[in-house]
Amino acid sequence: DVKVTQSSRYLVKRTGEKVFLECVQDMDHENMFWYRQDPGLGLRLIYFSYDVKMKEKGDIPEGYSVSREKKERFSLILESASTNQTSMYLCASRLKREGPRSGELFFGEGSRLTVL
Amino acid sequence: DAKTTQPPSMDCAEGRAANLPCNHSTISGNEYVYWYRQIHSQGPQYIIHGLKNNETNEMASLIITEDRKSSTLILPHATLRDTAVYYCIVRVAGNAGNMLTFGGGTRLMVKP
């Protein structure tokens, strides 16, 4: 089974702190994604990566950056955390970039971040 | 991507079939239907997808109407662990940059 592991289930940070959210997948997937999930807003795509050292902005990239130095690892960085970044963050990966299975994402369990 | 409409919530008795409907009346010919679910405090989990034929796997069955304007996800023998939010998503499969859009979904409550 594909396993997508997020480094922390729960984090509490202060406004202005730099925050790193780490995600590792063990199935050699090329594509990886970061979403955030908020009540009433569903899942929103922050950034994604098609391959190592590649990154693309999603729908809400402002205030975030990402790093993909190794194929299995995709990091989300909040350079200066703000209270409106309090949210559930979800990492995902996928095997196929095109075709029907490109809609088959494997998600981690999520990281719930609270910014005070 | 075509928009989908799902009921906000449904109940189902444990052991009975859960039939979750989804309307996608503006679906185009090259769009697939995907279903995911999200159990509380976990990430979404892929269930099944289809284009026009009915599909079945170890988790569920997907029935797509002949005109493809609606579909039904069937959990044949619902258990308490199937309590979750179920998302129906319509998407063009061939476009790598075309990302999944998760709407509100249906909150399924399986009751003993």
pLDDT given at position B49: 94
Cβ contact, residue pair A4, B43, below 8 Å:
yes
Stretch 41-80 of chain B: residues touching chain A, C-beta under 8 Å: 41-46, 49, 51
Residue whose token pair is 């796997």: B57
Interatomic CA distance for residues A52 and A60, integer angstroms: 21
pLDDT given at position B104: 84
pLDDT at B96 over 60: no
Give the 3-state secondary structure of residue A57.
strand
pLDDT given at position B92: 78
Lowest mean pLDDT among A35-39, B72-76, B99-103: B99-103
**Distances in Å between the alpha carbon of A18 and those of A26, A43, A65, B28?**
27, 23, 11, 44
pLDDT given at position A75: 97
Interatomic CA distance for residues B91 and B17, integer angstroms: 27
Interatomic CA distance for residues B71 and B90, integer angstroms: 11
pLDDT given at position A84: 97
- State the amino acid at position B55 in one-letter form: E
Interatomic CA distance for residues A48 and B73, integer angstroms: 29
pLDDT at B80 over 70: yes
pLDDT given at position B22: 96
Which tokens is B98 given?
A: 């075309």
Stretch B71-82: mean pLDDT: 97
Task: Suggest the residue from A47, A105, A109, A113 to mutate for an interface test with chain B (most B CBs closer than 10 A).
Answer: A105
Extract the residue ranges of chain A whose pLDDT is less than 50.
Answer: none
pLDDT given at position B41: 86
